[in-house]
């Protein structure tokens, strides 16, 4: 979930501008306040003696000694990476104060980052500043063993059957919000409007009816206080006695009180509560492996983590996608815009249903090739989180025999990697067609890393794509829109990188249904001919299935496989499977043990599969 996508998900991400400014502050403190002591520490870190036979990454340096790197990094975080890559290649270290940051650029170099386990590359060390927000003992403030169980609890709301149900909820929420807030016509700044809508849809699907119906305003206000309590200063001194932190801490205490009341009511009436499909209910029901349940504080922390994981990233990606489509319509002939509108026209099941927030189900979304391409291309061009990072706990060897030493901060930049001309032709042009009928087997592994990759793929990716495409489907079906301000540049000063604003949209309600825009439906293969059957995938991995039951789940939109006697629902993984769609669908409903163990797969595949396990075969 773009769900931060990376701050909660498996990737681990941060704004480069924020990271640069924080390290700039850190550097000046070390260099000028501590003076000689700081310099000696820096020399000890940078010049630590190692085995002369070990090949270390080359170090990049620019400007004045000691402070030159931070100034360059803070001024242009991506610019310094491009300069270092041009001079030193795809693996290099930039020393920033007492931090040695090693960057990996390009698919081949990325493998060391995305195939390493958490025992080798750790998130917790570099994200300790989130503890005051998430809470003690939650996510980054607990052992890896416990963290994995908490992530598994969060993953329970990402089951394919639940995602199928969420799309209709989000579509209705989108329609109601636009009707009430936008009205029939007018102008609006898109980014703040999408921020309001995203938190509404998140409340409906994740936090439950009590929050959405009774407590939304209070939760929104407390979330805003938590959000404002995360500043560049917080990354360096997360518990410093400043006003933003005081408000943050108070907001978290109030959030725990608020959710504790809801949790108490649900636990007092478990039969009625079990009917809820939101993540709050999943967390209430979750048990650790030792049989203990999550405390109210832990449930609240995980809910907060979920909101942080998706609010900004989904908002920003929805905004960028809409802006690119409208800019294409305004200045580039509208080929991609018209492809999306023709697609919506073909897919609308009954006239006007999309504009009413109806009929936007999992089958429609699975057939939205052009809308999917528009969103994915927008993420390629402007990923909300432009750097992913982890702490090196054990020496890591990457391309050309280069060793990244223990203690380094290992980083990749999706913003740089996803603009590589060696991988993406004409990389600075927004071209959704590059993803239409795309053969993923021709794309080098670890080249598109907008949601991480490999075993560090963000678990919220399916939810994010579903949420964003559902919102755009309803919005573009309801309104005729045009962008009235210049196309924006990215704002690298923000914690998560949005377009610089304002981005004003002029809009008016469509006079005819989207299905009537192009006369006869232009692509009969996209027309709905049969109802969608929603399959309720069982939660947890303690369920048992017969081989005959598994065999029924053999289609792209409902795909199970068997590996070593265990059953995996890989429906959400089809579109990103590096071996292509056919290779995975070919094993749908049957045993794929030998195929998974094949030489084409990295050793990390079994770990990746764990998040999709739903049970085992009956003996």
The per-residue pLDDT for range 378-393, each reduced to its tens digit, is 999 999 888 889 999 9
Assess contact for 616 and 566: CB atoms under 8 A: yes
Other CB atoms within 10 Å distance of the CB of residue 186: 11
The secondary element (H helix, E strand) that includes residue 554 is: strand 554-555
Closest by Cα among 458, 175, 170 to 310: 458
Average pLDDT for residues 351-371, to the nearest whole number? 93
Which of 196 and 231 is assigned the larger pLDDT? 196
- Rg (alpha carbons) of the chain, rounded to whole number: 24
Average pLDDT for residues 273-283, to the nearest whole number? 89
Q: For residues 471 and 331, what is the distance between their CA atoms, to the nearest angstrom? A: 24
User: Which of 155-159, 179-183, 363-367, 520-524: highest mean pLDDT?
Assistant: 179-183
Q: Report the pLDDT value the prediction gives residue 37, as an integer from 0 to 100.
A: 46
The per-residue pLDDT for range 469-479, each reduced to its tens digit, is 999 999 999 99
For the chain, helix (H) and strand (E) counts, in that order, are 26, 17
Average pLDDT for residues 583-608, to the nearest whole number? 75
The per-residue pLDDT for range 212-234, each reduced to its tens digit, is 887 788 888 898 898 888 877 78
Q: Report the pLDDT value the prediction gives residue 403, as an integer from 0 to 100.
A: 95
Which of 207 and 515 is assigned the larger pLDDT? 515
Name which of 150-164, 175-189, 483-497, 536-550 the model is least confident about: 536-550
Task: Calculate the average pLDDT of the chain.
Answer: 84
The string over 505-531, giving b where at least 16 C-beta atoms fall within 10 Å of a residue's C-beta and e elsewhere, is: bbbeebeebbbeeeeeeeeeebebeee
217 is in an annotated binding site: no
Closest by Cα among 452, 463, 487, 492 to 319: 487
Question: What are the C-alpha distances in Å from 23 to residues 58, 130, 153?
Answer: 20, 17, 34
Checking if the pLDDT of 251 tops 50, the result is yes
Instruction: Give the CATH H-level superfamily of domain 543-617.
Output: Cytochrome b5-like heme/steroid binding domain (3.10.120.10)
Residue 172: φ, ψ to 5°: -65, -40
The per-residue pLDDT for range 506-565, each reduced to its tens digit, is 999 999 999 998 875 544 334 333 333 334 445 555 688 998 898 988 888 788 989 989
Assess contact for 281 and 208: CB atoms under 8 A: yes
Name which of 324-328, 367-371, 447-451, 611-615 the model is least confident about: 611-615
Checking if the pLDDT of 589 tops 50, the result is yes
Checking if the pLDDT of 23 tops 60, the result is no
Q: For residues 95 and 88, what is the distance between their CA atoms, to the nearest angstrom? A: 14
Residue 146: φ, ψ to 5°: -75, -40
Kindly tell me the sign of the dihedral angle through the C-alpha atoms of 180, 181, 187, 193: negative
Checking if the pLDDT of 8 tops 70, the result is no
Average pLDDT for residues 561-571, to the nearest whole number? 87
Checking if the pLDDT of 429 tops 90, the result is yes
Both tokens of 195, joined, read 């921020």
Closest by Cα among 316, 461, 406, 382 to 11: 461
The partner residues of 227 in beta bridges, in order of sequence, read none
Q: For residues 338 and 28, what is the distance between their CA atoms, to the nearest angstrom? A: 52
The predicted model scores a pTM of 0.82
- The residue written with tokens 């192009």 in the block is 518
The secondary element (H helix, E strand) that includes residue 403 is: strand 403-404
Q: Where in the chain are the domains?
A: 5-130+387-417, 543-617
Q: For residues 610 and 289, what is the distance between their CA atoms, to the nearest angstrom? A: 15
Q: Report the pLDDT value the prediction gives residue 540, as an integer from 0 to 100.
A: 53
- The residue written with tokens 């009205």 in the block is 183
The per-residue pLDDT for range 24-48, each reduced to its tens digit, is 444 444 444 444 344 444 444 444 5
Q: For residues 150 and 136, what is the distance between their CA atoms, to the nearest angstrom? A: 13
Q: Measured at the alpha carbon of residue 355, what is the angle toward residues 352 and 357, in degrees to the nearest 5?
A: 110
The partner residues of 411 in beta bridges, in order of sequence, read 103, 389
Q: For residues 443 and 277, what is the distance between their CA atoms, to the nearest angstrom? A: 37
Name which of 262-276, 339-353, 357-371, 556-570 the model is least confident about: 556-570
């Amino acid at each position: 979930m773009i769900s931060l996508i990376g701050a909660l998900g498996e990737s681990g991400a941060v704004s480069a501008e924020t990271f640069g400014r924080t390290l700039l502050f850190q550097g000046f403190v070390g260099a000028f306040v501590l003076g000689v002591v700081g310099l000696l520490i820096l020399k000890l870190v940078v010049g630590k003696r190692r085995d002369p036979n070990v090949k270390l990454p080359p170090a990049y340096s620019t400007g004045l000694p000691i402070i030159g790197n931070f100034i360059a990094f803070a001024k242009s975080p991506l610019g310094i990476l491009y300069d270092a890559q041009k001079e030193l290649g795809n693996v290099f270290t930039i020393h920033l104060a007492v931090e040695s940051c090693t960057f990996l650029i390009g698919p081949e170099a990325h493998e060391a980052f995305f195939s390493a386990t958490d025992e080798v590359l750790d998130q917790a060390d570099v994200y300790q500043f989130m503890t005051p927000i998430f809470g003690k003992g939650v996510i980054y403030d607990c052992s890896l063993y416990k963290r994995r169980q908490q992530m598994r609890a969060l993953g329970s709301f990402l089951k394919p059957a639940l995602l199928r149900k969420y799309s209709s909820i989000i579509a209705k929420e989108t329609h109601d919000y636009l009707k009430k807030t936008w009205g029939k016509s007018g102008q609006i700044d898109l980014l703040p409007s999408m921020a309001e809508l995203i938190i509404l849809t998140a409340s409906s699907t994740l936090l439950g009816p009590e929050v959405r119906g009774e407590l939304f305003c209070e939760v929104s206000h407390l979330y805003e206080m938590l959000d404002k309590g995360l500043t560049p200063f917080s990354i360096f001194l997360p518990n410093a006695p400043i006003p933003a932190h005081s408000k943050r801490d108070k907001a978290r205490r109030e959030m725990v009180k608020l959710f504790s009341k809801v949790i108490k009511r649900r636990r007092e009436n478990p039969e009625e509560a079990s009917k809820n499909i939101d993540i709050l209910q999943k967390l209430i029901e979750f048990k650790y492996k030792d049989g203990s349940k999550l405390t109210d504080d832990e449930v609240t922390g995980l809910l907060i983590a979920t909101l942080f994981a998706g609010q900004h990233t989904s908002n920003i990606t929805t905004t960028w996608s809409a802006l690119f489509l409208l800019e294409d319509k305004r200045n580039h002939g509208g080929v991609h815009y018209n492809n999306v509108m023709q697609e919506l026209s073909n897919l609308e099941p009954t006239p006007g249903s999309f504009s009413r927030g109806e009929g936007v189900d999992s089958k429609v979304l699975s057939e939205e090739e052009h809308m999917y391409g528009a969103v994915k291309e927008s993420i390629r061009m402007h990923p909300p989180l432009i750097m992913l990072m982890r702490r090196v706990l054990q020496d890591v060897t990457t391309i050309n025999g280069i060793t990244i030493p223990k203690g380094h901060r290992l980083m990749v930049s999706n913003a740089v990697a996803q603009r590589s001309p060696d991988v993406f032709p004409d990389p600075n042009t927004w071209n959704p067609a590059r993803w239409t009928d795309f053969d993923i087997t021709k794309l080098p592994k670890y080249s598109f890393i907008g949601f991480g990759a490999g075993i560090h793929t963000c678990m919220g990716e399916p939810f994010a794509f579903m949420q964003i495409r559902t919102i755009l489907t309803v919005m573009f079906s309801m309104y005729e829109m045009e962008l009235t301000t210049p196309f924006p540049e990215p704002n690298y000063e923000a914690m998560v990188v949005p377009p610089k604003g304002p981005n004003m949209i002029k809009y008016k309600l469509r006079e005819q249904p989207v299905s009537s825009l192009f006369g006869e439906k232009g692509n009969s293969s996209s027309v709905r001919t049969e109802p969608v059957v929603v399959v309720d995938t069982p939660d947890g991995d303690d369920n048992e299935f017969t081989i005959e039951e598994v065999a029924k789940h053999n289609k792209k939109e409902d795909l199970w496989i068997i590996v070593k006697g265990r059953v995996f629902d890989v429906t959400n993984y089809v579109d990103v499977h590096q071996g292509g769609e056919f290779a995975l669908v070919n094993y749908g409903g049957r045993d794929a043990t030998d195929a998974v163990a094949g030489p084409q797969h990295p050793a990390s595949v079994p770990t990746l599969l764990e998040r999709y396990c739903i049970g085992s075969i009956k003996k």
